[in-house]
Amino acid sequence: MTLHTHDPKHETHHSVADATRPHIIRSPASPTRITPQPWRRLRTALLGALGAGVLSMGVCTNAQASYADHHEAQRFIEDMRARHDFDTAELQNTLARAQREPRVIRLITPPARKGAPRSWQGYRSRFLDRTRIEGGTRFWREHEAELARAEQQFGVPAEVIVAIIGVETLYGRNTGNFETLSALATLAFDYPPRAELFRRELESLLLLAREQGRDPASYSGSYAGALGYPQFLPSSVRAYAVDFDANGRIDFESNPVDAIGSVANYLHAHGWQPGAPVAERARIAPQADVATLVAAGIEPALAPETLTRQGVSALDGDAPAALATLVDLETPGEETEFWLGYRNFYVITRYNRSSFYAMSVFELAEALRLRRLVEAIRAERR
């Protein structure tokens, strides 16, 4: 599951996957006078301050032998020894093999300037396409028995499991090629804004490797440390992964069966309600105060009677089916879509805290379910 930055409006897109290069301020042509101009003095002061700040944070540089020499890493090693009984020399050797990955920093750093407005239709088109629908139909057909077993055991519909794997990695085709140890070490020790989070994930990676009897450097995945078919972070692998094929080990790299069971288990553990709705299109009366309703947050907290009183109903005019959140899906130049998101919609956002993501999963799941229904009807008519 990919990490995301927080949008206070409705927790949209905590994805680090869409970050672009930070904006670079380019200097104008050299001035004709030798006397430094004010902008040059300011630039010199800023660069000096930045350099001092970087050094004070102990960033791993070419002059530094490895992350084993990083002073924050030294504290991390001592903590791992004290809390998890790791051997100090072994950990130093492991971190000595981790390489600083500048591309990881570039990818995770939010752009300095806001780009174009976010577009629901633009985001949707990345996942609701022929490739994912046809690929998901094949994936479902190939793993029909395992998906049925996961649905029976965890209560999560097969189409939702398939849709999440499709959105995350195109059914295992795009799992990432970053060495996880180096990516997490880079973020843990050279990315102060989220260092605490990534130190926890580095800790989880080392514990996972010990539990699985693997070299910590043998894992690969996204630049944020997400692994395999379902893009679980190491902490989620340890907490929610299941050996769904019962072969004695969990394999997210080459075995989709474990991913199927683990995605279902993750959603189940976060409160999936079997048989309950996910979302439905909303009808908004002219007098509705949509800004206040949307601001209530992504977790369903608006009672059906409250929404009805405010002029919000399901598209067919009925009252909302349960406690709901009002989700606004904006596309520049087009009318905003409003949806009622129920508890299961919220559960999908626990996988990725983005309303765009959750709606893409829901709509892809619906497209896959309808495709399967059409195939079944055609098969009956033969």
Residue 309 main-chain phi, psi, to 5 deg: -65, -30
In a domain, 80, yes or no: no
Question: Rounded distance, CA 58 to CA 60, Å?
Answer: 6
Buried/exposed code over 13-26 (b: 16+ C-beta within 10 A; e: otherwise): bbbbbbbeeeeeee
Provide the pLDDT for residue 98.
96
* Assigned token pair, 157: 């519909």
CA 180 to chain centroid: 16
Residue 16 structure tokens: 């680090």
- The candidate with the shortest Cα–Cα distance to 259, out of 247, 241, 234, 274, is 241
Tokens of 12: 């949209």
Would you state the pLDDT for residue 4? 46
Helices 180-190 and 71-84 meet at what angle, rounded to 10?
110
The pLDDT of residue 42 is 43
- Could you tell me if residue 296 is inside a domain? yes
- For 6, the token pair is 């927080």
Determine the Cα–Cα distance for residues 302 and 237; give it in Å rounded to an integer.
33
Domain assignment present for 324: yes
Whether 228 is covered by a domain: the verdict is no
Q: What is the 3-state secondary structure (H, E, C) of 188-256?
A: HHHCHHHHHHHHHHHHHHHHHHHHHCCCHHHCEECCCCCECCCCECHHHHHHHCCCCCCCCCCCCCCCH
Tell me the pLDDT tens digit for each residue of 38-72: 444 444 444 444 443 443 344 555 434 479 889 99
Q: What is the pLDDT of residue 68?
A: 87
Per-residue pLDDT at 181:
98
Residue 302: domain span: 279-341
Q: What is the pLDDT of residue 10?
A: 42
Cα 354 to Cα 356: distance, rounded to the nearest angstrom: 5
Whether residue 267 contacts residue 159, with contact meaning beta carbons closer than 8 Å, is answered with no
Low-confidence ranges of the chain (pLDDT < 70): 1-65, 113-115
Residue 311 falls inside a structural domain: yes
Phi/psi of residue 314, nearest 5 degrees? -70, 165
- In a domain, residue 286? The reply is yes
> What value does the CA radius of gyration of the chain take, rounded to a whole number of Å?
24
**Residue 230 placed within a domain:** no
| Other Cβ atoms closer than 10 A to 77 | 22
Q: What is the domain count for the chain? A: 1
The per-residue pLDDT for 150 is 98
For residues 361, 366, 372, 376, the Cα torsion angle rounded to the nearest 10 degrees is 160
C-alpha to C-alpha distance for 119 and 289, rounded to whole angstroms: 22
Q: Is residue 300 part of a domain?
A: yes
For residue 341, the cross-strand partners are: 279, 325
Task: Note the pLDDT of residue 32.
Answer: 28
Where do we find the tokens 């908004």?
Answer: 284
Catalytically active residues, by annotation: 168
Distance (Å, rounded) from C-alpha 188 to C-alpha 182?
Answer: 10
Do residues 236 and 266 touch, judged by C-beta distance below 8 A? yes
What is d(CA 369, CA 157) in angstroms, rounded to the nearest whole number? 10
